[in-house]
Structure 1
Amino acid sequence: MLPVNEAEALILNLVQPLDSQQDAEVVDLSSAAGRILATPVTSQLDFPHWDNSAMDGYAVRYADVQNCSAEQPAILEIVEEIPCGFEPQVTIQPGQAARILTGSMMPDGADTVVMQEVTKREGDRVVILTAPQPQAFVRHRAAFYQAGTPLLPAGIALNAPEIAVLAAAQCTELPVYRRPRVAILSTGDELVTPDQPLQPGKIVDSNQYALAAIVAQSGAIPLMMGIVRDEREALKEAIASAISTADIVLSTGGVSVGDYDYVEEILAQLGAEIHIRSVAVKPGKPLTVATFPQNRKMGSGAAENQLFINKPVLYFGIPGNPVSALVSFWRFVQPALRKLSGLSQGWEPIWVKARSLHDLRSDGKRESYLWGCLNLKDGDFEFQLAGGSHSSGNLINLANTNGLAVVPVGTTFIPAGEQVLVLKI
């Protein structure tokens, strides 16, 4: 069994991120939310586009007001009103001012804004009662961004702030990475779909739906390939089909040491290189990780030699127990999927330290994950253990949880009130 950190590092080193040329597509701005930018974006606009006022007040020449005070105010003639969206028509001359609003364009000749709170209006004149600082409340053209320079770097997720920047920069079409395709198949004669009658001894396949949901939430395209029976040829055909269409393949079940666990055998037949067979983690010990290199023939038979993999494929065989399947995804698959998607950073698991509200127990033999709720209270995180059994088959108490507390190898007990490392999910 590999230690968890070694398994994580090995998996992430196996990931080949999408190519910014071959795996890019252009989308319009309204469809760009959540996508990963494939190439840097520049704009032909300066930000601000022109000098403008950061305050309601009066645009003036600093030379006219630099020595004024309440005792010796400067009295200026108001020669123009400049509302937002209006281009000034007058050049400010000595002894003149323009009424200006926040965001309005500065008129020629003016270099400073006096806020209205230190002025007094008298008809077509304004009395300046306090001397401002030079260039006070003026936002200068290109102070935030200069046209032609990089605006946003490649490899970032386009969320609300980035979308706002792109809209303001009039970038209406964007190069983004295509969404990774993740094939999901469940193995086992005992499985039935949620819409089938549940006969004695059968189990509803929840993994297919749970993994499809979390794959979609991760920004990828889930390919639900259904249930595959415990038959070598059927499983081989299903895996071969998945490999030919997806960037990542997830199969649940069939990776332990049971009589019908054929996954590793079939992967070897199809030419995969198997890197991981088990990890010292609980739940989720049986974990098969394999790769199919790019431009490689898949299989050994004459017909199979006609099938080429034209892209690298990463294969995860994860346990069939529902909790084990999700924990394996959160801990190992999701970071790999994020890195594959083109993110330049931020694809690693997110860890926080939290005070446990309950005693945490483990047998100490493997790194153990206990699920529960992570909450922020008075600036510090608290972890509340989910009630009920923490069995890998108990999916029920996993609902409404958002964190996995870690009990390290060699530790059997962490008392309530102690700090614990928690994986945010």
Structure 2
Amino acid sequence: MVTVTEALDIISAVVKATREQRNCPLEQALDHVLAESIYSPINMPPFQQSAMDGYALSMHESLNYRVVGEVAAGSSNNPSLKPGEAVRIFTGAPVPDSANSIVIQEKVTRKDEVLVLDDAPQEGANIRPVGEQLSKGDVVLAAGTRLSPASLGLLAGVGVSAVPVYKKPRVAIVVTGDELKAAGEELSRGQIYESNGLMLSAALKDKAYVDTFVLKAEDKLDTLTKTLEKAFEAAEVVLVSGGISVGDYDFVNEALSHLGVKTHFYKVKQKPGKPLLFGTKDQQMVFALPGNPASALNCFYVYVHLALKLWEGDAEASISFRQATITADFNKKGDRAQFLKAKIGANNTVEILNGQASSMLQSFAVADALVYMEEDMGFVAKNTSVRYLKID
């Protein structure tokens, strides 16, 4: 058995970025990770640009100017201004080469073509110089950057239309348990509805891993082994739900061993989710998750998501714990670390919810955080600062 910290360290050491890349149009690149650094093909802005609506001036000693024209955004007009002359200009428009200041429209009085300034202008005011944001050849975004809406806008703004990204993994979800029935079917005594397949598939899609599929496996070693073999043939990442504990019908560990999976750890000193296995098979990876729904989802957020980000080459892949104060006393029992379903509140507080059992999803359904109680913690008083993982 390993600790939470040891499990995270093992995943971080073992999982390497995939070598598979593709050239991806920006329209499809959201939440992908750059495989190579992107260099700006242009200066940004590529010309002197007005930062405000107002008047571009060729400065002289008087506060009076003569308006001789107009330059709108997108205009190629480049009037030659003499000292004492001005043009009406708008935000984003190219500043005439002969202008050396822009005064905002709220600071002038205009009558016909005569412009009177409230104050003496400052040289360079409200002018964005060429290359203020990026010079040609600068790194726009480094390899390993996960692409956000803002980063896509930045790339488009320098004229990039497609970028090399790491391929996202295909993920197989193998659901075990002869007691499980599909929603809508009639339940017999001892049967329950299967929920982990849908839940894990939705969790993956919520994190932008959309290429997923679910396989159902019987609680028999031979059929389970064949189902897992099929999963490894079709996917880079395999998630197994259930069958990883020590019951008479828990065959997942044995089946994975038959398929040549190298186990890096089995069982984590935590609650929920103690019976967790992480392994690799060549360049593929597998997580065998507990069958209890809350345990499985907890392990997804803490361990699986980290491994997926590492596989994608995300340079900032890590578990990012935040700090908040708890709203009520909590008494942690036992010597295992705990992840507690919680709700983030106002004023940097977090509320630990009722219904913490590993089988209960009702509290998870309204949770947006997991409070992390370390092994050596016991009674934790109200208003104590604790660490939590944001999960929404």
Q: TM-score, normalised by structure 1?
A: 0.87
Deviations along 1:102-155, whole A, 9 cap, x unmatched?
A: 222212322122333443324323233422222111111111111232222222
Q: Does the aligned pair in 2 maintain the 1:373–1:383 contact within 8 Å?
A: yes
**Any unmatched runs of 5+ in structure 1?**
66-72, 294-311
Q: Distance in 1 between matches of 2:111 and 2:242?
A: 83
- Aligned 1:137-148 pairs, distance under 5 A: 137-148=126-137
Q: Does the aligned pair in 2 maintain the 1:58–1:114 contact within 8 Å?
A: yes
Cα 1:11–1:118 shift into 2, 3 Å: closer
- Aligned 1:69-108 pairs, distance under 5 A: 73-108=62-97
Deviations along 1:145-203, whole A, 9 cap, x unmatched?
A: 11232222222222211121122223222222222111111112111122322111012
Shift of 1:219: 2.1
State whether structure 2 residue 13 is matched by structure 1 residue 43.
no
Q: Distance in 1 between matches of 2:109 and 2:241?
A: 75
Shift of 1:44: 2.4
Shift of 1:84: 2.5
Cα 1:286–1:96 shift into 2, 3 Å: same
State whether structure 2 residue 226 is matched by structure 1 residue 231.
no
Further displaced range: 328-337 or 91-100: 91-100
- Aligned 1:263-342 pairs, distance under 5 A: 263-293=252-282, 312-342=283-313
Cα 1:124–1:212 shift into 2, 3 Å: same
Shift of 1:222: 4.7
Letter in 2 for 1:319: P
1:61 matched residue in structure 2: 58
State whether structure 2 residue 21 is matched by structure 1 residue 24.
yes
Identity rate, percent: 32
Q: Distance in 1 between matches of 2:211 and 2:111?
A: 69
Say which of 374, 378, 395 aligns to 2:344: 374
2:208 matched residue in structure 1: 219
Residue aligned with 2:66, SS = strand
State whether structure 2 residue 327 is matched by structure 1 residue 357.
yes
1:116 matched residue in structure 2: 105
Shift of 1:419: 1.8
Deviations along 1:338-368, whole A, 9 cap, x unmatched?
A: 11122111x2122112211122232232001
Letter in 2 for 1:420: V
Paired residues in the alignment total 391
Cα 1:231–1:140 shift into 2, 3 Å: same
RMSD of the alignment, in Å? 1.8
1:202 matched residue in structure 2: 191
State whether structure 2 residue 2 is matched by structure 1 residue 7.
no
Q: Distance in 2 between matches of 1:351 and 1:158?
A: 22
Q: Distance in 2 between matches of 1:6 and 1:286?
A: 15
Q: Distance in 1 between matches of 2:84 and 2:301?
A: 68
Letter in 1 for 2:322: V
**Any unmatched runs of 5+ in structure 2?**
none
Deviations along 1:289-313, whole A, 9 cap, x unmatched?
A: 11112xxxxxxxxxxxxxxxxxx01
Residue aligned with 2:304, SS = helix
Q: Which has the larger radius of gyration?
A: 1
Q: Does the aligned pair in 2 maintain the 1:364–1:411 contact within 8 Å?
A: no
Letter in 1 for 2:313: G
